[in-house]
Structure 1
């Protein structure tokens, strides 16, 4: 039965990636996959499937803890909580333009940066935190009194901005679309204050 489960994981890796990112337990995931497949789909490449299953499980067991917040108040509340409870783990923050009802951001660089940043999360240390902050609508962001711009801990000028909290590591604008710079923010050995 383990070989059957391995084949299921291999055949439906896109489903695994989606479910793991949504923090569905492995047991629940297996039950859903088994219900959706017939036994005729479980017949090829079993040894390869077992290896890929092990790699996928190892990859996702080491994932960063992801948070999504909207607005300044939600962000400050969460970051203050993490500063108290994150046990010294790094906190990475991506600030990006708000999204409409179709999930599309008003900020073109944010749209380009999001997949680059999410791919680079694998470079972040295990159990570190990643906060994706929706800064709101374009008019709110452009206001010079926007708290994301005036908070002395942030002083944001551009979205997207990617930073490691309480360190000098920070990139913004189109630089957040550059894989090598994004990777540096996640894997550069600088301690938080």
Structure 2
């Protein structure tokens, strides 16, 4: 069975900018912002991110062919909690909470507890923009 989504991963703000500023047709459709995984556990320091992970996986299980999901690990807890964290202040991201799933280059996003609902995730994925 061919996976319908292509997964990409980056760590940190600079790497995130490198990928999203390329302007290539290979831009991600969706960007998931999450806390960085701890090397000793393999799980994010962000308990909300860990809790949401199975719901996100379920939501993306039937994603349309060609979907590109970029998972961005924002950094450690201290970096994220800084009010001047660039993920919080950048006009393209404007993050308030983790996890946050964004339909890239749109205003559409799911934040925090919304990501505990697979139906909401599927709705975000099935939303078709009228051109």
Give matches, 1:42-57, under 5 Å.
Answer: 57=1
- The TM-score normalised by the length of structure 2 is 0.90
User: What's the counterpart of residue 84 of structure 1?
Assistant: 24
Q: Which runs of 5+ in 2 are unaligned?
A: none
Q: Displaced runs of 4+ in structure 1, greater than 6 A?
A: none
Unaligned 5+ runs, structure 1:
1-56
Check conservation: 1:109, 1:177, Cα contact below 8 A: no
The alignment covers a number of residue pairs equal to 130
The structure showing larger relative contact order (alpha-carbon pairs under 8 Å, at least 6 residues apart) is: 2
Q: Larger helix proportion, structure 1 or 2?
A: 1
Q: If the length of structure 1 is used for normalisation, what is the TM-score? A: 0.62
Distance 1:180 1:123 in 2: 11
Distance change (3 Å), C-alpha of 1:123 and 1:80:
farther
* RMSD (Å) for aligned C-alpha atoms: 1.8
Q: Which has the higher strand share?
A: 2
CA distance in 1, matches of 2:58, 2:92: 26
- Answer yes or no: is the 8 Å Cα contact 1:123–1:187 preserved in 2: no
Separation of aligned partners in 1, 2:51 and 2:130 = 28
In 1, the alpha carbon distance for the partners of 2:91 and 2:102 equals: 14
Check whether the contact 2:28–2:70 (CA below 8 A) recurs between aligned residues.
no
Structure with max Cα Rg:
1
Q: How far does residue 107 in structure 1 lie from its aligned partner after superposition?
A: 1.1
